Chain A
Amino acid sequence: MSSLFIAGHEFHSRLFTGTGKYASADAMMDSLTASESELVTLSLRRMDLKNQTDNILKPLQQQRIKLLPNTSGARTAKEAVFAAELAREALETNWVKLEIHPDPRYLMPDGMETLLAAEELIKKGFVVMPYVHADPVLCKRLEEVGCQCVMPLGSPIGSNMGLASRPFLEIIIEQSTVPVIIDAGIGAPSDAALALEIGADAVLVNTAMAVARQPAKMGKAFRLAVEAGRMAYESGLGERRVQAQATSPLTDFLGALS
């Protein structure tokens, strides 16, 4: 399986993962370890001054997993830029998953604010990974302003509905000259395999792994699915046809019996 390069960084795994919704830090680490993911997302919030929070940073840093802060919680470009600057300080990385979703019900990304924020963050030296709708025009615009990849959604965050946006993802994949990472909605390993089979460069999975009864086993299942999907893509899938095409030669060797 070939490596994936984003902004000059080599990834051996095409499975990116989120850290949210796990029952415990141990469950998270077991799942991430089994998944062999090399990039995980984190978010920021105002510090809880009364309670000590579960430290998930240390085990992640010990595993040498690359950290990708997101701008979740931002509702405008201005808030997202501020969040990215905070995240750069907090996690000592200029990589950012840019996500701006003003509506808490469907968490649909705001494309206009995302484009504005992306432009500004790129000027400030960030590696911007924008989470967007499966909008081929917007993905091109983001590429033009200098985003190092695009992250279109398969379906709403946490919905487990898989690649509901598939026809549009296929257009994005066909047109993009930067890596396409399908983010959000991937509910089963088969969704992830399909994403890679149709030519996505990677997927980002969180909920499906985190809420599984056995998160470690599910992490491994996603790893295998992503590897299978990518290998299938690299080896070349056959064309779909309406009619049958025989795999055994249709000779008349039983003709004498009739």
Chain B
Amino acid sequence: MKIMLNDVPHEFSGKTLQDLLIQLDKSEQGIAIAINQQVVPKSLWTSTKLNEQSQVFIFESIAGG
């Protein structure tokens, strides 16, 4: 299925947010996720299912003042 990931169409073969992170091969440290403008707590990543309407934004912590 196609989801929107950080404003870009993204082909995704899994089911949950956790699957997406595994697919992207990104560390879970220091990141946060929002779907359709709602922050999804880490504890819900494995149970949150994605669909064609999902607008997913992944954020990471970086250096800053």
Contacts and interface: CB of A to CB of B under 8 A. Distances in A.
A82 B37 CA distance: 8
Interface stretch (A87-95, A170-178, A228-236): A87-95
B39 A70 contact: no
A168 interface: no
Contacts, number: 92
B30 to A, nearest CB: 4
Interface in B6-65: 6, 8, 24, 26-27, 29-34, 37, 39, 41-42, 57-65
Contacts of A206: 65
Interface string A175-213: 000000000000000000000000000001011000000
Contacts of A55: 27, 29
A70 B65 contact: yes
A206 B31 CA distance: 23
A57 B23 CA distance: 22
B65 A41 contact: yes
A206 B39 CA distance: 29
A224 B34 CA distance: 42
A46 B57 contact: yes
A72 B33 CA distance: 17
A22 interface: yes
Contacts of A56: 62-63
Contacts of A57: 29-30, 61
A28 B62 CA distance: 13
Interface residues of A, number: 35
Interface in A38-54: 41-49, 53
B64 A90 contact: no
A82 B58 CA distance: 13
B5 interface: yes
Given A20-B64, A47-B31, A207-B65, A82 B26 contact: no
Contacts of A46: 6, 57-60
Contact of B32 (A44, A48, A70): A44
Interface centre among B6, B31, B58, B61 (most CB of A within 10 A): B61
Contacts of A158: 65
B61 to A, nearest CB: 5
A86 B34 CA distance: 8
Contact of A90 (B8, B24, B57, B61): B61
Contacts of A204: 65
Interface in A52-106: 53, 55-58, 69-70, 72, 82, 85-87, 89-91
Given A46-B60, A90-B30, 14 more contacts: A18-B65, A19-B65, A20-B65, A42-B64, A45-B59, A46-B6, A49-B58, A53-B62, A57-B30, A82-B39, A87-B61, A90-B60, A91-B61, A206-B65
20 contacts: A18-B64, A18-B65, A22-B63, A46-B6, A46-B59, A47-B31, A47-B59, A47-B60, A49-B5, A49-B8, A55-B29, A57-B30, A57-B61, A82-B34, A85-B39, A86-B59, A87-B32, A89-B39, A90-B59, A157-B65
